[in-house]
Amino acid sequence: MLFSVAADSYEWAVREIRAEFGRDVRIERVSGDLGRVAGIAVEQLAGACDAGRIIFVRHLTVEIASFGLDDLPAGYELAELILEELPDYPKALAVQAWTDSAGTGGSYYHLLEEALADRGVSVTRSGQDVVVSCFAGRRAVVLGINRLEYSLSDWPGGRMRLARSEERVSRSEFKLEEAIATFGLELPAGGKALDLGASPGGWTRILRLHGQEVWSVDPGSLDPRLRGDRRIHHAATTAGRFFAENRVRFDVVVNDMRMDQVMSARMMLDAAPHVRRGGLAIVTLKGGGRNPLDGARRGMDVLRQKYDVLHARQLHHNRNEITVVARTT
């Protein structure tokens, strides 16, 4: 099985896998952001990742073949190889190709797309029950197949690509968008959301796009494009002062504040009494440092005092952060 990670988080992913499945698990590095593990069922590894026990793995696929760059078979042979692995002849597949070089893997995607189309199989980049992964490294091309439910991400190698647009307030929007899409989160229709450390309003904008009325708490200002929205309430104060005066009960609370992991988690504990039972919480735990894994675990242990942790993962747009999704207890 192949697993993808952020390149500088590979060693932490290995440590997590061995802590979960034993130190005798065989793991080798394929490329900067790709590893190979043997002796574990994909369902087991995906389950540990979904539950937040493994947080540095982004994408999974079951390896079916590996070729040197000079030995890559023709497209029709690759299509045959892929279809032989599938017990039921599929009408459609997702093909996701990526590379560790400057390219995007697009040439490999089109190679497989054309070959599978010749066999009557429709190909898309996402949105199918079965995902074909194609990783092109500097020395080899590796093919894998997995069901979407065990892939962790419906993007090549877990690298979600979101379009930049003039409407975007800040780059941080990508983090919340990716979390909502990756974990399949459904925000309550017409809900009330609390955005802690909101300035300049990127997460507030995404919450509004998902139908939430938002209370944006930050001494700093919001982007002028948000100020005319009557369902955005800017509290230009600190979180502590806001909590002291607040009388609203929220359905959702989010926190992307620049604090260390434990301080961010404690801020979420302060927020918990203001959130309905079973309310959704999304927080980024800022990582980095010498031991980001243990720092993230400490933050999650604090959160568990008042929340059930549902998911925890280093998403593509996180950089040195961990996104945690939880519900109030």
Residue type, 259: M
CA distance to 74, 151, 177, per residue, from 128 (Å): 24, 11, 20
- What is the C-alpha separation between 77 and 235, in angstroms, rounded? 61
Structural contact between residues 56 and 293, judged by C-beta atoms closer than 8 angstroms: yes
Beta bridge partners of 46: none
Q: Which residue is associated with the tokens 């549902």?
A: 310
Q: Which residues contact 237 (CB under 8 A, 6 or more apart)?
A: 217, 219
Q: Name the residue type at position 175.
A: K
Nearest residue to 176 via CA among 152, 191, 147, 196: 196
Classified as helix, coil or strand, 31 is strand
Q: Which residue is associated with the tokens 């017990």?
A: 87
**What distance in Å separates the CA atoms of residue 131 and residue 30, rounded to the nearest whole number?**
20
- 52 contacts 309 by C-beta, under 8 angstroms: yes
Catalytic residue among 175, 192, 286, 306: 286
Could you tell me the maximum CA-CA distance found in the chain, to the nearest angstrom? 68
286 is known as an active-site residue: yes
The residues that are catalytic are: 286
